[in-house]
Structure 1
Amino acid sequence: MKTLKLIKNDPWLAPYKQAIEGRHNRAVEKISELTGGTGNLSDFADGYLYFGLHKENGHWVFREWAPNANAIYLIGNFSNWKERPEYRLLAIGRGVWEIKLPLDTLHHLDFYKLSVHWPGGQGERIPAWATRVVQDPETYIFSAQIWDPEKPFVFSKKPFRPQTSPLLIYECHIGMAQQEEKVGSYTEFKEKILPRIVADGYNAIQIMAIQEHPYYGSFGYHVSSFFAPSSRFGTPDELKSLIDEAHKMGIAVIMDIVHSHAVKNEVEGLGRFDGSYNQYFYGDHRREHPAWDSLCFDYGKNDVIHFLLSNCKYWLDEFRFDGFRFDGVTSMLYYNHGLGQAFGSYDDYYNGGQDDNAIVYLTLANELIHQVNPRAITIAEEMSGMPGLAAKFNDGGIGFDYRMAMGIPDFWIKTIKEKKDEDWKPTAIFWELTNRRSDEKTINYAESHDQALVGDKTIIFRLIDDVMYWHMSKGDTNLIVDRGMALHKMIRLVTLSTINGGYLNFMGNEFGHPEWIDFPRQGNGWSYKYARRQWDLVDRNDLKYQYLGAFDEAMIHIISQKKKFERTPIVKLCENDGDQVLAFLRDDLLFVFNFHPFKSFNGYGILAPTGEYEHILSSDDPAFGGYGLIDMKVKHLTRHDPLFEKDNKEWLMLYLPARTAQILRWKKPEPGETKNASKSKKSAGSIKKENKSKKK
């Protein structure tokens, strides 16, 4: 066997060659086993077309896998919720049960469940493959519902091609995306929020909490019905309409999919579905997740792999999602779920504590998804840093397209909490933002929904805190607010400008949404006050939130218009911890940051490629709540220095106000132009003398 490219690219992986090749070969063998040697996982993952309720050959046909059951009845409003012999399923082998009924027996919007009998017990269950599950508003009981409208939704015929260069993601939650204190709908999101996202310049949305979940406050992470889009937000057709409209607007739609665990509920979920403890989940000490109060799938069972792979294909096929962000991947990769482990060396990834069955499943999931849609996007939420997670399967990787850079938000929180402003070091910032594997694409983000939840704080709240309640009016000068807004802009721009794959923002954070997210619960009187987004704050012309929103829109548009920006090399030009100045070049865009809290620099020299530089963005622009200290109309010509002539670099002299960020566009000298953009013959020594600081 040839050495896998993953190992070739990283010589430090050579000692673990056997383990890496072993995982790769197990995935190859499993694909062959499941597909009968064809390798066609797409055909294997058609379970949603077989199981559940369907119309076939002039009949309703219902099938369910329940190997421990000894009797199953279909019950519903059509049977007065009683077991009747004509609704008893037949066992047809391999633990599969089936019933065929005349078409006039069941109707659109009928409610139904299963009454499952097993040795020593019986219970009502919602079918595992149900595609619509609703909760009775009076009894709060969940039931499956037939969704068979006379005129089903029809997607636009034009195929959608996601724009992923660069990938700019707006993370969102349908229910809390509205202004009112209530649960928002798919339709409201389509009509009110999508236009905002398009205007901001993002090219993808990542939607949370799509799979049905009994408890709204779980943020969608305790899934009960894996094939049912949450009915809290509307109908399946309304979700399809949202996705179709997003595609028309050029927005890719990524689903936050949860295959790392499942809710423990037995009536609503898969826990003891057929009376056994180990149908979908581990039957031993690994059954319950030690931190999440949930159940862990047994990825070693082919029937479980079939269920989960079919779930991936279902959302791609039936709803035309453009891909998935897989939640809780770290928890899947390790027997200890990554809890309490530091992951300080490569040994931690190959010490026998890895769940090879889960690794094989994730590899198969990525292979399947890209078979179904070669342009699909897969993202791993993973914090351990396992090598190869976002490398191609054929190269020895697990096959994700991207991995979340989960260390970055932790870095920003730690910096804000523990370091004085004058101790913010550009070397540390640049290292954290660019320290990644060269053969894997990452999603940079300063903060996601995690940092906005009760018990945590968003960046803006850490910077400004309760002063936001009193001093966010335009014209109200407050040093705490000024500092917070300045750093908020700088943090987001430096995080965005260093991407090698994509960037993510959670809805509302772009304009500094105040307060936390707290879903209705007993502890807050079942209030929706904090389970919403206050869009009026950014819409009001008298508030400073508008400045932050405008800056986010400006920086996103600049990067979005730069095709293949994420692939351009990051050329570091200046990294001065004493001055707290950082500058780097990406193609023709120069990014300059002065993190110093009070020192502004006049004529600060940065060694840069020869040419002309013009300002295209300044965080100090009055339109973004700044003081307008930078003259955006001034074009800067580099100054010749014979010491650096061989490097084709000259001195670029800039004014750097304290706590500001700038983007300049570099114009290369045209052929035939004088080699030096400026004929100034100042020496390196004289240039350095100009790097004097002054108080802002």
Structure 2
Amino acid sequence: MAETVLGQQPNDGTGVCALDPWLRPYGDALRKRYATCQAWITRLNECEGGLEQFSRAYEHFGLHRQPDNSIIYREYAPGAIRASLIGEFNNWDVEANPMTRNDYGIWECTVPAVDGKPAIPHNSKIKIAMITAERERIDRLPAWIRRVTQDLSQSPVYDAVFWDPPEQYTWKHKAPAGLSGGLKVYEAHVGISSPDGRVGTYDEFRINVLPRIAKLGYNAVQLMAIMEHAYYASFGYQVTSFFAISSRYGTPEQLKQLIDEAHRLGLLVFLDVVHSHACKNVLDGLNMFDGTDHMYFHSGPRGNHDLWDSRLFNYGNYETLRFLLSNLHFYLSEYHFDGFRFDGVTSMLYLHHGIGTGFSGNYGEYFGDSVDVDGVVYMMLANEMIHKLYPNAVTIAEDVSGMPTLCRPVSEGGVGFDYRLAMAIPDMWIKLLKETRDEDWDMGNLVHTLTNRRHLEKTVAYCESHDQALVGDKTVAFWLMDKEMYSNMSDLTPLTPVIDRGLALHKMIRLITHALGGEGYLNFEGNEFGHPEWLDFPRAGNDNSFHYCRRQWGLVDDQLLRFKYLNGFDQAMQRLESEYGWLASPQAWTSLKHEGDKIIVFERAGLLWIFNFHPTKSFEHYRVGTNWPGSYRIVLCSDDPVYCGHDRVDLNQSFSAVPEEWCGRSNYIQMYIPSRTAIVLRPLTLDEA
């Protein structure tokens, strides 16, 4: 999905300077990271046959059944002096299947077939047993294992199993051929998707949730917590087995069926991939795998993330690159994912990992001594590999620092991502709702935060993701309406001032973020209909309760409740974007930010957008500047009674532009703009007028 800039560009990593002359003083840093990336590509071309072959190591490492039904197992463990494959198949006998080591620290053994059948049965438990340099005996789950299960009756115990089903999954549907229009992402977690107090399944998500996403009009679903993690409450961000998908929700075949069905529905599927760090668990993770602390990680303090209490990868290490790049290729090839949301990119970009660091926007912060060049280069290599092998794949960076060039192609000297998350936008909304009276909202700051993004580096805007829903915070809907959501969301009860305000602002906040905030849009599961409360996983602190770890679909399905209005408005937004394509359009032109009237007006994608955030004032005959002459009709209005509005706007009326300058635009229209209302208009063609 990465785009390029037309014209001749230097091939030394400074092509991005043509877009942003302020980068020129940092040409040396750009050249250094680009040269390091190209040196890796040259080395891999010479030693491995290129990035593609290098990133297919999942076909070599781990356990693989051969045509004669023998099974070969390979594992990188340079710190071990002895190794053997153990499991149920050999009664856990460390002498039965010893492994041999090559000069590069790679261990291998072959388990012959027995009577023509695999000696290791499908779904049987296995481990690798090793003797460390300190003569310690250790057992580990294979690093490249594709299936890990949990025995919760044993506190719990995590088991690696040889996953080799007799019938491989047959894919039925092709993925959509890239994006149709702007990127509209539905962020979801399979486990919380059940309305019941338990962990949801891949099958339930496929049957019950995917149709909802498609009906709303999103074109991508982003799945969280898929990579196996021992601690459920980590939200999937403490990964223990990188090539295993979480067994809590079902089998690999069931996940494939989920993705296959998403493709049938026209949805892309992104994996929330965690390569910024790894869980510190030893017995069921990568930490101290071969008895050393530096097999895939930095040794000593540099290898530990103090805030996350996790291990940090050494991105300059040959085998670490092989492991991580192969992990990406594996999910694209084996599971047909269509791209990735890279978690914790800020931590990967800087040696300080963003800890205790405020980013002021000074370019020196992004190209100085604090930058982890190896981490940057890893992401350049990852994006280069992904986009060359899968041209339609999408990569999204979760970066709070705002590093320039993050979302420009590697060929220009960029890091290669397609999009970055606009992390300042949800922070702004939560801060406003928590700390500022409606009358004191700053229209200028609101517009600035929504539009403050780098030219030609695409951004995914959002009001709230999973971060804002976690315990300690609340959903936007709950910040707006709080306890009244329990008693006053029924159509059978009077519309109270709190609920009226909450519904109105919920719609407006989402629409202006969607329209003004970026080149993509993201919503977290359930928030489209105003999911109440917060998200809290079962843990010791809440008596292992699932009460807040579920999605209450019954709220939106109950036609007597007002949640349906928010859901309907969300659907209208997504469908309108699909029709007019504002996310794929240039940034908006804002003609009005009136602090006293609390009115914002802008033009984008051939539409005229008007927002009145004033809590009490409605305006008659209000002049709205526009650059387009002719007549206008309303295409969306948050005051429409279909969305629990007050029906104060005649949706069938047309407006004629007066050819006089207003607010820096060459025309204006006059209209009634009710309080707490958003109105979207389109110019009519000559035939329609």
TM-score when normalising by structure 1: 0.94
Gaps of 5+ in 2: 1-9
Q: Deviations over 1:116-168 (max 9, x none)?
A: 21122121100000001111232221111122111211112645423252000
| Cα contact 2:450–2:516 (8 A) shared by 1 | yes
Q: Judge conservation of contact 1:610–1:668 (CA < 8 Å) in 2.
A: no
Conservation of the 8 A alpha-carbon contact between 2:662 and 2:668? no
**Aligned residue type for 2:609:** F
Counterparts of 1:633 and 1:424 in 2: how far apart (Å)?
Answer: 31
CA-to-aligned-CA distance 1:94-118 (integer Å, 9 cap, x gap): 1011111123311111111111211
Letter aligned with residue 19 of structure 1: A
**Cα offsets for 1:238-283 (capped at 9, x unmatched):** 0000001100100000000000000000110001000011111111
Q: CA deviation at 1:338?
A: 0.8
For residue 378 of structure 1, what is the aligned residue in structure 2?
Answer: 395
Q: Distance in 1 between matches of 2:659 and 2:30?
A: 52
2:501 partner SS: helix
Does the 8 Å CA contact 1:110/1:146 hold for their aligned counterparts?
yes
2:302 is paired with a residue whose SS is coil
SS in 2 for 1:232: coil
Q: Which residue of structure 1 lines up, in the alignment, with residue 55 of structure 2?
A: 45
Distance of 1:411 and 1:2 partners within structure 2 = 39
Among 612, 620, 623, the alignment partner of 2:631 is 612
> In 2, Cα distance between the equivalents of 1:271 and 1:159?
36
2:595 to 560, 574, 577: 577
Provide the aligned length of Structure 1 versus Structure 2. 669
Deviation at 1:524, TM superposition (A): 1.2
The superposition leaves residues 553-601 of structure 1 with CA deviations (integer Å, 9 ceiling, x where unpaired) of: 1111101222464224412232212211111112321111001111000
Residue in 2 aligned with 1:460?
Answer: 477
Cα distance change on mapping 1:335 and 1:588 into 2, 3 Å: same
For the 8 Å contact 2:175–2:268, the answer to whether it is kept is no
CA distance in 2, matches of 1:30, 1:504: 34
Structure 1 residues 164, 20: CA separation in 2 closer, same or farther (over 3 Å shift)? farther
Report the Cα distance in structure 2 between the residues aligned to 1:144 and 1:184, rounded to whole angstroms.
22
Aligned residue type for 1:618: C
Cα distance change of structure 1 residues 648 and 134 upon mapping to structure 2, 3 Å threshold: closer
Q: Structure 1's 102 and 564: CA in aligned 2 closer, same or farther, altered over 3 A? A: farther
Residue 203 of structure 1 is matched in structure 2 by 219
For residue 599 of structure 1, what is the aligned residue in structure 2?
A: 617
The 1:132–1:195 alpha-carbon spacing in structure 2 relative to 1, beyond 3 Å, is: same
Q: Is the 8 A contact 1:32 1:38 kept in 2?
A: no
Deviations 1:163-192, CA, capped at 9 Å, x for gaps: 252000000000001111111111100000
Structure 2 counterpart of 1:105, from 119, 123, 132: 119
- Compute the displacement of 1:522 (Å): 1.1
Residue aligning to 2:318: 302
Structural mapping, 1:389-408, within 5 Å: 389-408=406-425
Residues 169-568 of structure 1 aligned to structure 2 (within 5 Å): 169-344=185-360, 345-474=362-491, 475-563=493-581, 565-568=583-586
Aligned partners of 1:154 and 1:376: how far apart in 2? 21
Residues 459 and 520, structure 2, Cα contact 8 Å, conserved in 1:
yes
Q: Structure 2: which amino acid aligns with 1:466?
A: K
From 86, 106, 109, give the equivalent of 1:96: 106
- Between 1:249-258 and 1:101-110, the stretch displaced more is 101-110
Question: In the alignment, residue 177 of structure 2 is paired with which amino acid?
Answer: R
Q: Provide Cα deviations, 1:387-417, integer angstroms capped at 9, x if missing partner.
A: 0001111111000000001011111112222
Match of 2:81 among 67, 70, 74: 70
Aligned to 2:151: 136
Q: Extract structure 1 runs of 4+ deviating beyond 6 A.
A: none
Task: Please give the alpha-carbon distance, in whole angstroms, between the structure 1 residues aligned to 2:104 and 2:625.
Answer: 71
The AA in structure 2 aligned to 1:117 is I
Deviations along 1:173-215, one digit per CA (max 9) or x if unpaired, are: 0000111111111110000000000110000000000100000
Superposition deviation, residue 38 in structure 1:
8.8
Q: Is the 8 A contact 1:499 1:566 kept in 2?
A: no
Deviation larger for 207-216 or 552-561: 552-561
Q: Secondary structure at the match of 2:483?
A: helix
Q: Is structure 2 residue 34 aligned with structure 1 residue 20?
A: no
- 2:585, 2:605 within 8 Å by CA — same for their partners in 1? no
Q: For 1:215-245, what per-residue CA distance to the aligned partner results, in whole angstroms no more than 9, with x for missing partners?
A: 0110000000000010001000000000011
Q: Which runs of 5+ in 1 are unaligned?
A: 678-696
Contact 1:615 1:632 in 2 (8 A): yes
Q: Give 1:650 deviation, angstroms.
A: 2.2
- Which amino acid in structure 2 is aligned with residue 452 of structure 1? A
2:90 aligned residue = 79
- The 1-side partners of 2:321 and 2:609 are apart by 46
CA distance in 2, matches of 1:155, 1:594: 49
Q: How far 1:346 moved relative to its partner?
A: 1.1
The share of aligned pairs that are identical, in percent, is 45
What is the alpha-carbon distance in structure 2 between the residues aligned to residue 355 and residue 221 of structure 1? 21
Deviates further, 315-324 or 341-350 = 341-350
Contact 1:66–1:95 under 8 Å retained in 2: yes
- Per-residue deviation, 1:429: 1.4
After TM superposition, give the deviation of residue 7 of structure 1 in Å: 1.1
8 Å Cα contact 2:408/2:414 also seen in 1: yes
Provide closer, same or farther for how the CA distance between residues 529 and 159 of structure 1 changes in structure 2, counting only shifts above 3 A: closer
TM-fit CA distance, 1:424: 1.4
Residues 422 and 361 from structure 1, CA distance in 2 versus in 1: closer, same or farther, beyond 3 angstroms? Answer: same
Deviation, structure 1 residue 668: 4.5
